[in-house]
Structure 1
């Protein structure tokens, strides 16, 4: 499955260098403990080569004299001891001398001490939750802590509970992925089986479909999916002692840090994953709220919860709706057609309206306004629908379930893959989909959500 490019840091627009007409080659001398932050426009690319010294991208070390290509991304390269880099192509960029990297490294070493203790006792490593407002750098810090753990020979389980992002999957999914190999600095998190060949070994995510942009859109759907994800993750930990000793690193959506309803969702995640360490990124108020909720709290295993407040990186800037839409479309396109290094050819399947079972996710918490005091339990989380022109250019999740399964069973099933609706013919009662896998999907239930949004550009 494809991953979203551009989860990194970018510079304030006031300090960006002026764009030139032709591609340029620039050499940057970076001092020790400084960070080069760059933004490449969607559809554009730059090439970066480390000429001397040492450098890393979100914790993953960059090889000397290797050319790295970055497409449509906001990211940063950090050096502990100084380095010289060569950049070919156009990007908006600047170098920062002040960063919170020392804080982040100290956090990593504190987690390593807990992992050493778990190793000695053959127990469980830290279960770390990151919370913070939108665009505070949570995903970048998750990536950094994951990369540092891998460099120490660990195998962390990385959990994504943010449906707006995609971690080794498309947006709209919640995933859990054990990381045993390095993170691919060019591809983001790396690749998973349907992304075709890669020099970095593929990752195998546990993938569940939520299909809405915000957890608060339908908490009665989001919560049980988080519970199911936690159950699957815990089972995976129990099977592998190295993953168990390393523990979990859990990313969260920024939207749940903005009020009581969101705090209840944080509490749900903390409870289901038995979180024992909470890192609060870039918000004094949120840190105080977390202290109120969790200072005397105990996990299901009787552990107290450690709260740590960390500074937000100055390189974090708002990713506006346009950028998010472009990255979402790029991720979907990559899922079906591959990237610049490898081309995929999706299969086209034609089906009759009566050949498939499609469930549409009920929008938001609008179910609360059902007439006559009806509860959503009576109507179900999903609405069974026929194929119709409204689903043109939409994604449908193919579930590991059968068409006769209950809605709860379908909800708790993992995702087999996704198909893209490219044509709907009402008169002939037939529709056409693109699928990365050439397997029968008519004997599987399909789920239609509102996220990711419909996009014509996938086949344009």
Structure 2
């Protein structure tokens, strides 16, 4: 007999749930109204959670039923608890301000709000972005989700920056829609590896999104919701300012850090067109140490090939290395100016595209399949998808890789980087 546990939440409360990585929990709304990051949970709808950490919130009260194939709830969850202190009112107020801008833009045929969510690691930026997107959809808009967090990959694989239109509520189990994403492969999980490339790709993505907005009044009015990485000091702060400028963000939501809010207040004071809002982080946010973040990246890649519930069947292929045209970006680390002769400039080009000459370095690598017609266009053209190198035979000079679908790859050229992981 499955274990069933019932929770009655009064208005303004949320149930915070952390499901173990290899376990499954079913959540059903039996009475009342509830939502997860702005996605409504319909009465009788059964939500399947696997290794997820989330909060089920109610504005008016709800009865939730938790079902697990276990003797006790602790067998499948790390923690389940009810909270009455949440930032949902502040988040809703921020959403309403953005919504007013969308409506004004629709009436005037102008540019809708470009909302960027910033803050340090593990303050709930991704969750807030989902909430803002879902509320926009519920109000009748289809905003563009933009993901600049290369470390985790909310839209595409880790190491990518990407954008996608959101026309329906974000599925709690599946995540952001990935049917027609615009993806550029930065090929690393830290912007410190090649900051010039990171800036270049953000600018490239911004230019294409501008073009799309200019061509469609509804897309223009709906605006964007932009998620960012959690590195907000030093170079990370510099890249954050660059992203705000490149994407012409005019609503900046600062989550969970007064210091960053103060810095941005000073930095953006001269820009009268920018609204800066400070928001609290949720008490339910879970801190993830580096090893756990690394595991999450591997799980994200595995999900790309096998699906959220293992419903997909990737295809394994083996080709001679000479049949593959693999490139990587960057001419190696630049020597610091202080180490060079006076007047000399660093010679390594961070945007140089060079062929990979040894198959051995590709083992366990994630490679992007580019739409580029020639190597010189690899930086400026988006990617079609990804393959994963599962084995390399240096004796036979062959490469075995996983592909989401059978048949020839959709592009001739592949991009490699430092994104390596072991996928069971």
**Quick check: TM above 0.5?**
yes
| Residues 351-380 of structure 1: per-residue CA shift (max 9 Å, x gap) | 2222222123449x8323599666355575
| Residues 264-305 of structure 1: per-residue CA shift (max 9 Å, x gap) | 21221121111111111111111110011101126xxxxx21
- How far the C-alpha of 1:389 sits from its partner, in A, is 2.4
Q: Indicate if the aligned counterparts of 1:394 and 1:454 stay in contact, CA closer than 8 A.
A: yes
- How far the C-alpha of 1:442 sits from its partner, in A, is 9.2
Q: How does 1:228-239 map to 2 (within 5 A)?
A: 228-239=204-215
Q: Answer 1 or 2: higher relative contact order, Cα 8 Å, separation at least 6.
A: 1
Tell me which of 283, 286, 299 is aligned to 2:260. 286
Distance 2:277 2:351 in 1: 40
Name the residue aligned to 1:350: 318
Name the residue aligned to 1:436: 404
Residues matched between the structures, number: 412
- How far the C-alpha of 1:334 sits from its partner, in A, is 2.0
Q: How does 1:359-370 map to 2 (within 5 A)?
A: 359-362=327-330, 366-368=333-335
Distance 1:75 1:381 in 2: 42
Name the residue aligned to 2:278: 309
Q: Indicate if the aligned counterparts of 2:372 and 2:413 stay in contact, CA closer than 8 A.
A: yes
Q: Indicate if the aligned counterparts of 1:359 and 1:446 stay in contact, CA closer than 8 A.
A: yes
Q: How does 1:259-274 map to 2 (within 5 A)?
A: 259=234, 261-274=235-248
Q: Could you list the structure 1 runs, at least 4 aligned residues long, displaced by more than 6 angstroms after superposition.
A: none
| Residues 55-84 of structure 1: per-residue CA shift (max 9 Å, x gap) | 000001001011110111111100001100
Name the residue aligned to 1:398: 369
| Further displaced range: 433-442 or 390-399 | 433-442
Name the residue aligned to 1:218: 194
RMSD between superposed Cα atoms in Å:
2.1
1:258 and 2:233 correspond: yes
Name the residue aligned to 1:241: 217
Name the residue aligned to 1:172: 159
Q: 1:224 to 1:439 in 2, by over 3 A?
A: farther
Q: How does 1:6-155 map to 2 (within 5 A)?
A: 24-89=3-68, 90-91=76-77, 92-155=79-142
Q: Indicate if the aligned counterparts of 2:173 and 2:308 stay in contact, CA closer than 8 A.
A: no
| Further displaced range: 271-280 or 142-151 | 271-280
SS at match of 1:49: strand
Q: Which runs of 5+ in 1 are unaligned?
A: 1-21, 193-202, 299-303
Distance 2:104 2:55 in 1: 33
Distance 2:53 2:225 in 1: 22
SS at match of 1:88: strand
Q: How does 1:323-342 map to 2 (within 5 A)?
A: 323-340=292-309
SS at match of 1:292: helix
Name the residue aligned to 1:157: 144
- Give TM-score, length-normalised by structure 1: 0.85
Distance 2:352 2:149 in 1: 20
Q: Which runs of 5+ in 2 are unaligned?
A: 69-75
- How far the C-alpha of 1:390 sits from its partner, in A, is 2.8
| Residues 194-219 of structure 1: per-residue CA shift (max 9 Å, x gap) | xxxxxxxxx41111101111222211
Distance 2:345 2:148 in 1: 29
Q: Indicate if the aligned counterparts of 1:358 and 1:387 stay in contact, CA closer than 8 A.
A: no
SS at match of 2:128: helix
Q: 1:274 to 1:339 in 2, by over 3 A?
A: closer
Distance 1:343 1:312 in 2: 34
Distance 2:358 2:326 in 1: 7
Q: Indicate if the aligned counterparts of 1:47 and 1:70 stay in contact, CA closer than 8 A.
A: yes
